Structure 1
């Protein structure tokens, strides 16, 4: 019964977060001075090199407003928007890639972002925490100090600087990987998997190094503080081996904040690594959001931001539900 009440409360909070986030996503662009319909008509006229008559312009504006859910007053637009998003995840067609649906574009970019960012996030988290654990537990060793120095060097470097450095070294000075990755069209095959992995090495290495330093430093400080706790000292006085104290006593308690950071990082994955994807021409959600913002494609921007809101809120819900499994001090109540 306690779990049911706990789950219902967390689910209600989750739905409230989704509702508020999607509502803000709807209203905020509408308070901006620019109008996507006017921008689209002006762009179309400039490309065609001719001016439409007032009657033709009005007919075009009316049909575009109907097509993109901008017909009627603000409240009716809002109700239509909620119905389309919650019932069918429909954001209408893309302004910049008409008549392609926004949902189709998002689902096409999503596997690229998930494949790259989830893999690199887990790898950076696992490797960084293992190194940070050893650096914190054996803090008086020279090797531990060297590991900490690696984290201190990597942590403040922005990932776009790392990306440019890796491109310069591994794609220009030593042309091991392609300067501009290319992903040929085609169905699933082992050759295609090999091509994708080869072209994804540089963006993946950039993201691993970018998250690596923070995980080392945070776990090092947590492990060092946990090592000084009374129960760890008591285990040492009992003659418990170093490895057992480090893994079963220190790591199990120090990892709790790190699990929180990991789950929230997985949620923000759905934003895409914007600058990394732009630098490497990687066809993920980050590049899609940049395209939407640059072309004034409101529908595409709505879809990408809504996907990010859903991902972060879902990550928070999952964290609330699984946290008692890692920390026995927390109960479902």
Structure 2
């Protein structure tokens, strides 16, 4: 147990280091852009008429303090980290004066709900079908699924999203093609709102599931194909152990270990969103928010979304690192 506690402390230290380096890189990259949010805001404010020079200078001073751009680079860096620790990214330049944290808070549940459910469904179906295909290698139906998976896997998300949009939005208009729910519908825990959210999520989720299931299927089939040749599996088959038990307890359980790692990374990456898919369907998630922020040059919002993504991915990797020794006894805690 003491060894596991030391292991936890080390992994927590690595987690903090990764997050620190990632956020610093995001800070340097966003501040290296030629866009000055202060001057851009002043230009937008003074584009409708003349403004006195004193008023412009006061506006410039106030905005620099508001955006954390006042003082020396060291002072700006310290202000940035103080805001990060308070989850305060300042106001959004493109949606001024709404705080960045408020915009992210509105968009995050949409992305988290859509991508978390899609990722879990994709992982379960892909691994289940891939495990069956790897074990029952003579099944024609499973071979056909493998061909379909290999055909869908290389297709980009946005291509399939556009195809679904054309088919179910124009050729056979039975599903909503834009938004997260029906317009003018109160966002409350009522059946009308929940059913509307589910209907609007079908096409985005389907585009993610159909593409993502191929990689899990092919990966699991390959792992199971290697595991079934192991001596302990052959011995169990010769010993007359039930094939269902061999598949679940001997084969898939061992083959799932690396797939669990991939699931943790995928769940951590939900904060990135399927950016293009969300934009195609007009889904009000992090992906659409990030694209709009990039177009508007709102580097504060870009930095906020990037920071959330870095922390999310790092937490996913940390979770699987802590669970790995418990899931697989062969992994030694060092």
| Alignment TM-score, normalising by the size of structure 1 | 0.96
CA distance in 2, matches of 1:302, 1:180: 27
Q: 1:12 and 2:13 equivalent?
A: yes
* Equivalent residue number for residue 318 of structure 2: 317
Alignment of 1:147-166 (within 5 A): 147-166=145-164
Q: 1:69 and 2:60 equivalent?
A: no
* Equivalent residue number for residue 138 of structure 2: 140
Could you say what secondary structure the match of 2:46 adopts?
Answer: helix
Does the aligned pair in 1 maintain the 2:274–2:287 contact within 8 Å? yes
CA distance in 2, matches of 1:119, 1:223: 25
* Equivalent residue number for residue 119 of structure 1: 117
**Post-superposition offset of 1:263:** 0.4
Does the aligned pair in 2 maintain the 1:132–1:218 contact within 8 Å? yes
Alignment of 1:176-215 (within 5 A): 176-181=174-179, 182-183=181-182, 184-215=185-216
**Post-superposition offset of 1:53:** 4.2
**Post-superposition offset of 1:42:** 2.2
Q: 1:249 and 2:223 equivalent?
A: no
CA distance in 1, matches of 2:28, 2:299: 12
Cα distance per residue 1:46-88 (max 9 Å; x no partner): 3x2x3434433322211110001000111111111111112x1
Could you say what secondary structure the match of 1:71 adopts?
Answer: coil
Number of aligned residue pairs: give it: 330
Q: 1:226 and 2:227 equivalent?
A: yes
Does the aligned pair in 1 maintain the 2:177–2:203 contact within 8 Å? no
* Equivalent residue number for residue 45 of structure 1: 46
- Residue ranges of structure 1 left out of the alignment (5+ in a row): none
Does the aligned pair in 2 maintain the 1:172–1:179 contact within 8 Å? no
**Post-superposition offset of 1:179:** 2.9
From 78, 87, 90, the equivalent of 1:89 is: 87
* Equivalent residue number for residue 79 of structure 1: 78
**Post-superposition offset of 1:331:** 3.3
- Residue ranges of structure 2 left out of the alignment (5+ in a row): none
| Alignment TM-score, normalising by the size of structure 2 | 0.95
Cα distance per residue 1:211-237 (max 9 Å; x no partner): 111111111111111111111111111
Q: How big is the alpha-carbon RMSD for the aligned residues of Structure 1 and Structure 2? A: 1.3
Could you say what secondary structure the match of 1:263 adopts?
Answer: helix
